[in-house]
Structure 1
Amino acid sequence: MTSSPRTHDASLTSRRAVLGAGALGTSALALAACGGSDGGGGSDGGGDAAAGPTLDFEERGPISLARGKDTTGQLAEFLDRWNSDHPDETVTLIELPESADEQRAQMINNAQAQSDAYTIVSLDVVWTAEFAANQWVVELPEDRFDLEGILPGALETGKYFDRLYAVPFTTNAQLLFYRQDLLEEAGHTEPPATFEEMWQIVQDVQAQDSSILGYGAQFSKYEGLTCQASAVIRSNGGDIFDAEGAPQADSAEAVEAIQTIRDGFDQGFIPEEALTYKEEETRQAFQDGRLLFETNWPYVWELAQAEDGSSKVNGKIGVSLVPGVKEAGASTLGGANYAISAFAKNAGTAVDFIAFMSEFEQQKDWMLNTTTPTAMAAVYEDPDIVAAFDFIEELKASIEGGVVRPKVVKYGDVTQAIQDAVYGAISGESEVQGAMEGLQERLTELGG
């Protein structure tokens, strides 16, 4: 790698990495990246998941794996690999719908029926608290997994009240994509580390070409806005909830962070149309040559570098870490984790299979063949991965500094409250201070 820890030069021309998309396709973004349920949080579930059921982690036999449809073909290879070595402990894949919400609904139905049909369930990273608190999945024996080898940010998504309920399989984090050619023409040699620096670059570039829009990210009222809010607040030294689960949405750090985005809209550094941006709208505006900067998932790299005429910016872009308010920028984490149903049989086999899936060989093969970031840190140092993937250093750094979305049981209600308040604040429908105070009241009512 010739790039610095913060920036990746567009002259690197590998085209094999479509991180977070590739064979998954852009329709799977919600689950693979910053997905989550739009529905409510199920039952309250109580506060202490430690009182939940336990399983016999020595019991062995056939098991099942319930997850979204495998569009990559790689999972079938892993199952064949395992099943050939464990003929008495085979794993059967149960493919659930592609929609994250439908997957969650079927998993909840299975749990509420106390069915043993699903042994291992693949959970979106935002579902851990709900499934653990409702005692739908069990606490896992930490000594049966190589947890030290997992990227810390990814590992945190599998915990609830510091107990392990799911082991990360894949992960993901956002990056800042920018028009390197336009920065250089305006006299800038480095991408921005803060929003203030980014606003200055936008001004300098627009002074030369007023048709160029500034910065775009996922500011529409949906799950992507929760991702953006969580990340920008962390970059200012705050969090929406503290370590004990108490809301702090009206803290000075949170208010200043959201005000920074509001100021970006008010001053024209963020175009008004960005209030409608989800992942694909952001990508398209950047790929069409209209945006100077975009925050997005790594899948956009290869699409923007396409040489078939679909991209106006191929060969002109650079990649760096996302900007922050005062502290280092942070990305909200995506990904999928493996948990064990509280009603499963043969939990010993389930533990061993999850450990198998988190081993280096499977983690490397998955990342190489599906172009989806995996959770094991050592994979990012492997020569084959480094050679195949652009901006691997930046991606790893973004994951390591990533933000975990609120670990709350009623996640559907909480994320909706965040989206309502933050959208009102950045769109000008309400003042930032009042919106965040209202959010604090709502989150307190929900009880986390």
Structure 2
Amino acid sequence: MRFTPIVGVVVGLALTVSACGGDDGGDDGGGGTAKQSTEAQLSGRGPITFVSGKDTSGNRQKQVDAWNKDHPNEQARIIELPESADQQREQMIQNAQTKSDAYTILNMDVVWTAEFAANRWLTDLPKSQFDVSAMLPPTVATAQYRDRLYAVPLNADGGLLYYRKDLLDAAGVKEAPKTWDEVWAACDKVTKTSEGKGVSCYAGQFDKYEGLTVNVSEVINGAGGSVVDASGKPTVNTPEAKKGLDVLVQAVKDGRIPKQAITFKEEEGRRYFESGKLLFHRQWPYQYALANKKGTSKVVDKFAVAPLPGVSGPGASTLGGHNLAISAFAKNKATAADFIKFITSEESQRADLLATSQAPPNAALYDDPELVKKFPYLPTLKASILGAKPRPIVVKYGDVTTAIQEETYNAITGKTPSDQALSSLQTKLGQLIQP
């Protein structure tokens, strides 16, 4: 949901959230009363729930089964929420607002931390118990709010350009495109070949949901623009932002993005790519293993991955991923803390990568020769994550992302001119993001 240096990501986080929400106590990293208070919150042992979006791999249940085998008195049970990130967030908020103990561990989009922590819906975690030093710095930054740890990274995520290498080879295109002009030129060549007949050019996540915020942010960043600057000030009403948004607007208009793609979330696009109907697909790493699964995919061994394109060179991914947090209203928090340590350990991350191709937070895994041999895209993915740009990190994130989705969807579908949509979005964001 994704090229700013690491320092830029961390500084942007600190500057933006400094103006958000109240201080709800916790581990100050220096011991004393605050540390004791935070650790004291992690009490109680017994059954827990693991609340997460739909697991398309089935591997998450295997990990829970492994935990349950060794913890007969502290069983974990998965509560599966809808595929849509927006619906997942809505159900988690409803649970928090009613102060229900039904949800124990929350598998959260990385951008929700500030909102949930500021509203006191999460239990802050003692840094002395959760060592995140081996994880990629941008992923750790997403798990913090006001320099306190409220979650632990479960998966990192960076956007990748999946492409049909066999079709590019047949059309004489020797390298993956680095710019949007090169993407469109490659499409034109492929569609003129017999192998490329009937194949659509490009798709991403363009339905009116969180994925659209991610995709729009990427094309804007890839054109030299931004949605918000490092201080959190909205900056969408600029020529650079318009140039980026117009990449999608024009591609829908001329058919290079097929009409049905404006209804695509991750899974719809994945199935379309795996059916052999799509040349280029902007997608997360999890697609790699599924697209190479014999019996269900028609593109096994026919595709490769590359960095996302930009206007004048490689683009910038939006920082995605998921963090695990403990609900402030949950019971058995000591068990929950141990479960989080178990499922985010390096051993578990390795197993998850091998089973699902999802991006691990642990930095060393990206340089492991055995893993790189099996997943050649890992160096590209690591660069994508380290250079990724975050979505606006604000307490009113739900309202912010809704505004982005509404205005840019109107532009992409031709309902509103792009300059008018961005001007309206600038006004809305200015009202929602207070200095």
TM-score, normalised by the number of residues in structure 1: 0.76
Q: CA deviation at 1:182?
A: 2.5
Q: CA deviation at 1:321?
A: 1.7
8 Å contact from structure 1 (residues 129, 409) kept in 2: yes
Q: Which amino acid aligns with 1:79?
A: W
Moved more, 262-271 or 429-438: 262-271
8 Å contact from structure 1 (residues 360, 378) kept in 2: no
Match of 2:316 in 1: 330
Match of 1:47 in 2: 20
Aligned: 1:237 with 2:224: yes
Report the CA distance shift for 1:414/1:384 in structure 2 as closer, same or farther (over 3 A): same
Q: CA deviation at 1:103?
A: 5.3
Q: Give the gaps of 5 or more residues in structure 2.
A: 1-18, 27-33
Q: Deviations over 1:204-232 (max 9, x none)?
A: 33344664432222222222211101222
Structure-to-structure mapping, 1:230-379, within 5 angstroms: 230-308=217-295, 311-343=297-329, 351=337, 354-379=340-365
Moved more, 318-327 or 205-214: 205-214
Which secondary structure does the structure 1 equivalent of 2:23 belong to? helix
Report the CA distance shift for 1:179/1:143 in structure 2 as closer, same or farther (over 3 A): same
Aligned: 1:67 with 2:37: no
Aligned: 1:405 with 2:391: yes
Structure-to-structure mapping, 1:136-175, within 5 angstroms: 136-175=121-160
Match of 2:425 in 1: 439
Report the CA distance shift for 1:270/1:60 in structure 2 as closer, same or farther (over 3 A): closer
Q: CA deviation at 1:168?
A: 0.6
Match of 2:162 in 1: 177
Q: C-alpha separation between the residues in 2 aligned to 1:336 and 1:216?
A: 23
- Among the aligned pairs, what percent are the same residue? 43
Q: C-alpha separation between the residues in 1 aligned to 2:70 and 2:94?
A: 28
Q: Select the residue among 181, 190, 202 that pairs with 1:205.
A: 190
Q: C-alpha separation between the residues in 2 aligned to 1:390 and 1:166?
A: 30
Q: Which amino acid aligns with 2:133?
A: E
Q: Which amino acid aligns with 1:399?
A: I
8 Å contact from structure 2 (residues 288, 357) kept in 1: no
Q: C-alpha separation between the residues in 1 aligned to 2:141 and 2:371?
A: 24
8 Å contact from structure 1 (residues 287, 311) kept in 2: yes
Q: CA deviation at 1:275?
A: 2.4
Report the CA distance shift for 1:304/1:62 in structure 2 as closer, same or farther (over 3 A): closer
Q: C-alpha separation between the residues in 2 aligned to 1:196 and 1:218?
A: 20
Moved more, 277-286 or 256-265: 277-286
Q: CA deviation at 1:191?
A: 0.3
Q: C-alpha separation between the residues in 1 aligned to 2:136 and 2:206?
A: 28
Report the CA distance shift for 1:267/1:157 in structure 2 as closer, same or farther (over 3 A): same
How many residues matched?
397
Structure-to-structure mapping, 1:104-143, within 5 angstroms: 104=89, 107-114=92-99, 120-143=105-128
Q: Give the gaps of 5 or more residues in structure 1.
A: 1-45, 85-89
Q: Which amino acid aligns with 2:112?
A: W
8 Å contact from structure 2 (residues 276, 298) kept in 1: yes
Q: Which amino acid aligns with 2:113?
A: T
Moved more, 403-412 or 168-177: 403-412
